Structure 1
Amino acid sequence: MTAIELLFSPPAPPTATLFPEWREKLKDAPAFFRDAKSDVNFRSYYREQVSNGPGAPWPEAWAAGGSVSFESGRIFNLISGGVVFYTSLPLYAPADHGDTGLLRPGQQGIAVVGQLYGQLHLDDRTTFTAGRYIWDTPFLGPHDNRMIPNTFYGYALQGTIGSEEKGGLKVRYGAGYIAAIKPQDSPVFMSMARAAGVNNDNGVGVAGGLLTWGPLSVGVVDYYSQDVINIAYAEAKYGASFANGISTILAAQYVDQRSTGSNLLAGGSSFSTDQFGVRLQVGYETGIFTAAYSVVDPKYAIQTPWSANPFYTDALVLKFQRAGESAVLLGLSYDFTPLGLPGIAAAVQYFRGWTSAPAAGLPVVEDEWDFDLEWRPNWKPLNGFWLRARYGKATTSQGGVYTSVDEIRVVLNYKVKSF
């Protein structure tokens, strides 16, 4: 990692342990139990979104729940498995204020075994995983910004070649087939094609790799779903640190999307589109400045049926992925620890997007301000505790019609080890 990456994503402190004595009691047990891991993650989430348009939806809910996970040690140093149970229960959920993504439609609670998987460890660096699992990739991933993440049903082989020690070259690779997804707000798995809005049960073949060599990294991944869509994504970044304490990361990303087979995603019509993005981040002490730009092909909007939008200009409310849309981001974040406020950080971001592409309808100009405040207490009993408040103000002007959206999110996470 470059110095600025460590600044952006500091290693989390060790979480608290509920029953530390169990580890000692299991030291002479078979590896299946001795090396097992179990976590409890409590989450509370409030979300409200208010729009100014007449008859506009007003999503609002406060939910609590989280997850309990268990991952076994290996049998014969070869086979292991795991299970994760998720729940989201309504604390405040008016029936006419649904569609927050925190609960099921109708503001009903969720309880689901989101992950249930087995793993075959071919060696210390190569693993085959099958079952319900989270695969975290740019266009197929957990999108964990609600109570419960997306999880998937499928299988994949993942491995590593080489080492980053002493600036060496390392390649991480993976390939697999994902048949189904359990969306954030549902306890039910559905085919990947149906999640994309297509009436068949096709899945997605995925293959990709990530090369890292000192401060340079280059990654590519391809997703293919017959009769639905092919998505090819690439990203590169380079980090540098300077003697004056300044660190930088320059990154670029590109995606190509096009219909496949019977072109069912677009009602039988073929389509193709792409998006390009670039981002510069500059860090000094505990402050970070970010500037980014992206542009979408004018023929068609970018599709994100199985994850969040991975582009740098993705905001809290707006996605800036309309046909032909250009977008810019300017942001500043700061960790207040040097000022005697350990664990407190804040960020502000400004976005602007615009397009006049006919495929996007009438010309559009979009603006958004996002504000973020978080607290991770530097106190051992609260290791794993994270409180975050976010506010976004978005405005859209299209064809003489002006709309605004205000969104508030307050999230509390507290993760502890069982033993």
Structure 2
Amino acid sequence: MCITILLIIIIMGPSSLYATEAAYILDENPHPSSADEIKGPLSSSFIIKRLKGPLFPILKQKLQDLPPFLRDTKLGFNFRTFDFDRDNDGIIDADGSNDNKAWAVGGSIDYQSGYLFDRLSIGASYYTSQKINGAQNEGGTNLLEPVQNGFDVLGQSYVQLKLNEEINIRAYRQSFNLPYLNRQDSRMVPNTHEAYTITGINALPNVDFIAGYVNKMKSRNSDSFKHLSSIAGAAGTDDGLFMAGARYRINDHSDIGAINFYSFNVMNIFYTEANYLFNITENIPIKFSAQFTDQQSIGDEFIGDFDTRTGGVKASISYRGAVLTAATTMTDKNSGIRSPYGGRPGYLSIIVKDFDRADEDAWLIGMAYDFSFIGLNGLSAYTNYAKGYTPDTGSAASPDQTEWD
């Protein structure tokens, strides 16, 4: 039995919030208030977040006569504190911890410039997580460095070239919200990556795309960037990955897409999804979604020889702020799903468990409500109940598992 108590307080400066139900994105945003607001994990990848405006209005006035590169400067801040207390009921973690406990305070300062010659801009994010409390033998919370030390890091530092209004090239330290390669911002500091990418939003009619090379990653509890093959578990290696993906928007609420990650000498990950919205009545939309992942080791197979896949379907229906969701997933018996570069996109990847172990069949039912429909703006709540079943005998035998959030 595992009991986890979380206390999170987050105060953010101006930012745009986009509703989605993918777990690693729900970490950052409120739950959608309608089925037509739900986006698939790949669909959410193409939402470009820019800071909304200057931190201080007086700053905008002082900069208004300067060139756009300075005049359009934007600053943002994020303050958060996180108290994590997990009782593992006598189970020892990989780092030797029995219980996982820590309390940290920190956040980020974010900067985005305007455009130079309407083509070139820069951006940066500086993150900090400082310990208030946390014994060395109670680590494993991912709030602090492994020995319960606070840390600071320049997590993002990039140059962006705007080829036109639809296509941008970005180089060096940046963040993603792609399936299997993302911020996974559920602690004090997000994952960020050292990468070189080209992204197109509506570059072709109703088509978005991304392609690039990702060399290194900084994990949530680290101040250093390491090669992706090392992050995956092959210490001392220096390989990265190449990725390419696209989605086609059938309409504003329905789409289909796929993305492939070729992580040299580690594994290949192929992911695809489809989302379709149907309106039963004007106030009762229902959204159907399906997803599939294929993973297999490649090259020198630094983390072992494996070949596996998982798939799932989901349906969400809503009425006046209330959303009901049901989902089911199945994972191949050969191996569980791996996700060393960020959170999993699976419909049953929730707060603690991912329900994608080898030969696991699982289902979920969830409910959410947006209280703005009864006059409490900014307040929403949700609950999920999930159950996973695995064989009692054989190579994939393991206990069944349950999670209620």
Instruction: State TM-score, norm by structure 1.
Output: 0.81
**CA offsets, 1:327-385, max 9 Å, x none?**
10011111223334333222121100011186754342111111xxxxxxxxxxxxxxx
Mapped partners of 2:365, 2:327: distance in 1: 7
Q: Which residue of 1 aligns with 2:12?
A: none
Q: Is the 8 A contact 1:173 1:209 kept in 2?
A: yes
> Which residue of the other structure, out of 279, 284, 289, is the alignment partner of 1:241?
279
Name the one with the larger strand percent: 1
Specify whether residues 285 and 262 from structure 1 end up closer, same or farther in structure 2 by C-alpha distance, changes over 3 A only: same
Q: Is residue 2:215 matched to residue 1:179?
A: yes
Q: Does 1:355 align with 2:387?
A: no
Which stretch of the first structure deviates more once superposed, 226-235 or 44-53? 44-53
Amino acid at match of 2:230: R
Alpha-carbon separation, structure 2, partners of 1:343 and 1:154: 35
> What amino acid sits opposite 2:150 in the alignment?
G
**Secondary structure of 2:334 counterpart:** coil
Whole-angstrom CA distance in 2 between matches of 1:42 and 1:17: 17
User: For the Cα contact (< 8 Å) 1:324–1:357, is it kept in 2?
Assistant: no
Relative to structure 1, is the Cα distance of residues 183 and 80 closer, same or farther in structure 2, using a 3 angstrom cutoff? same
Give matches, 1:252-291, under 5 Å.
252-266=290-304, 270-291=305-326
Q: In the alignment, which residue of structure 2 is the partner of 1:411?
A: none
Cα distance change of structure 1 residues 292 and 285 upon mapping to structure 2, 3 Å threshold: same
Runs of at least 4 residues off by over 4 Å: 5-9, 14-18, 357-361
Q: Determine if contact 1:250/1:281 at 8 Å carries over to the other structure.
A: yes
CA–CA distance in 1 between the matches of 2:347 and 2:397?
25
Q: Which residue in the other structure is 2:234 paired with?
A: 198
Question: Partners of 1:72 and 1:368 in 2: how far apart?
Answer: 43
Aligned: 1:143 with 2:178:
no
Amino acid at match of 2:159: G
Amino acid at match of 2:344: N
Residue in 2 that maps onto 1:336: 371
Pick one of 78, 81, 85 that aligns with 1:41: 78
Number of matched residues?
360
- 8 Å CA contact 1:293–1:328 kept in 2: the answer is yes
Is structure 2 residue 42 aligned with structure 1 residue 4? no
Per-residue CA shift, 1:117-136, capped at 9, x if unaligned? Answer: 00111111111100000022
Change (3 A) 1:27 1:229: same
| 1:233 alignment partner AA | Y
Distance 1:15 1:208, change over 3 A: closer
Aligned to 1:378: none
Shift of 1:209: 0.5
Q: Secondary structure in 2 aligned to 1:265?
A: coil
Q: Which residue of 1 aligns with 2:197?
A: 156
* Distance in 2 (alpha carbons) for counterparts of 1:213 and 1:62: 45
CA distance 1:16–1:342, change in 2 (3 Å): farther
Q: Aligned AA for 1:317?
A: V
Paired AA for residue 231 in structure 1: I
Q: How far apart, CA to CA, are the structure 1 residues paired with 2:308 and 2:169? A: 33
| Match in the other structure for 1:223 | 261
From 160, 176, 193, the equivalent of 1:119 is 160
- Aligned match for 1:311, one of 342, 346, 363: 346
Q: Does the Cα contact within 8 Å between 1:326 and 1:354 map onto a contact in 2?
A: yes
Paired residues of 1:277 and 1:293 also in contact (CA < 8 A): yes
Deviation at residue 92 of structure 1 after TM alignment: 1.9
**How far apart are 1:7 and its partner, in Å?**
5.0
| Equivalent residue letter for 2:77 | V
Asked whether the equivalents of residues 193 and 218 of structure 2 are also in contact (C-alpha less than 8 Å), the reply is: yes
Deviation for aligned residue 1:15: 7.2
Q: What is aligned with 2:113?
A: 72
Pair 1:19–1:363, CA change in 2 (3 A):
closer
Q: In structure 2, what is the Cα distance between the partners aligned to 1:85 and 1:138?
A: 24
1:368 aligns with 2:403: yes
Ranges in structure 2 where 5+ consecutive residues have no aligned partner = 1-18, 20-31, 40-46
1:4 and 1:134 mapped to 2: Cα distance?
A: 27
Equivalent of 2:64, from 19, 27, 44? 27
Could you tell me whether the CA contact under 8 Å between 1:220 and 1:233 is conserved in 2?
yes
The equivalent of 1:51 in structure 2 is: 88
The one of 191, 205, 210 equivalent to 2:247 is: 210
Identical pairs, percent = 33
CA drift of 1:197 comes to 0.4
Alignment-mate amino acid for residue 320 of structure 2: E
Counterpart-to-counterpart distance in 1, 2:379 and 2:176: 30
Deviation at 1:95, TM superposition (A): 2.5
Q: Higher Cα Rg: structure 1 or 2?
A: 1
Secondary structure in structure 1 of the residue aligned to 2:367? strand
